[in-house]
A = this chain, B = another copy of it.
Amino acid sequence: MFSRNVVSSERRSEPSDTARVEAFSDGVMAIAITLLVIEIHLPDTEGGNLLHDLGHLWPSYFAYAASFLTIGVIWLCHHRFFGRIRRMDGLLHVGNLLLLLAVAFLPFPTTVLAHHLEDGGPNARVAVAFYGVVASWQTAAWFVMWMALRRNPDLFEPGYDAEFARLESKQAVIGFVVFDVIAAIGLAVPILALILYLLMILLFGYTSTRSHVFGRELEGSR
């Protein structure tokens, strides 16, 4: 009777058990990525030169593009991650909410970066380092999510196991260290830190979309 119960519950959960988690997460990420534009403010220059003012906003455009790219890539990774998940447990919910916390917070360091990037002084360095530290939070959330899967590999779709989760959780630790090293570099050479940061995000993005086509695909599931 117990196994029948499990079977029927699994059949029922197949289409829907992570569906609402994905829908809620999509909502948070879609809003965070769209709210970024609110922080781009045009100075009120009634008699001024609009073309010059628009050009003068380049730090806002840069911060907007960097955070859009960051959230876009996190969404791609989230999409791939939940393609491998069949069920949720408490710790996985906690990890996912931590990830959403980090994503939803991102518009704030984005604004800080946009406001302080132009003055090359110490505030620009703090702004870049702050941005990098907040970016490292998301890797901590991924670590919690992979730990949930190490502890409970039943949450996986068929084809993945605790060992797979262990390797991914190690990568999350490496990501955490790298982003915080980039933040530290930002205190010394902000421009180098920003370039390294963008390269890291592009690398994550490239990895997450390529694996839809080949690679892990072959290990058993999308």
Q: Footprint of B on A, CB under 8 Å? A: 5, 9, 12-13, 15-17, 20-24, 26-38, 40, 42, 44, 46, 48-51, 54, 64-65, 68, 72, 75-76, 79, 82, 88-90, 93-94, 97, 100-101, 104-105, 107-108, 111-112, 115-116, 119, 122-123, 126-127, 130, 206, 209-210, 212-213, 217, 220-222
Contact = CB atoms under 8 A, between A and B. Distances in A.
A122 B50 contact: yes
A34 B38 contact: no
B68 A104 contact: yes
A90 B1 CA distance: 36
B38 A79 contact: no
Contacts of A116: 50
B209 A42 contact: no
A208 to B, nearest CB: 9
A75 B24 contact: yes
Contacts of A36: 104
Contacts of A220: 5
Contacts of A32: 34, 37
A168 to B, nearest CB: 20
B26 A89 contact: no
A50 B123 contact: yes
9 contacts: A28-B30, A34-B35, A35-B38, A38-B38, A42-B111, A42-B112, A68-B104, A72-B97, A90-B212
Tell which of A5, A34, A79, A116 has the most Cβ of chain B within 10 Å: A34
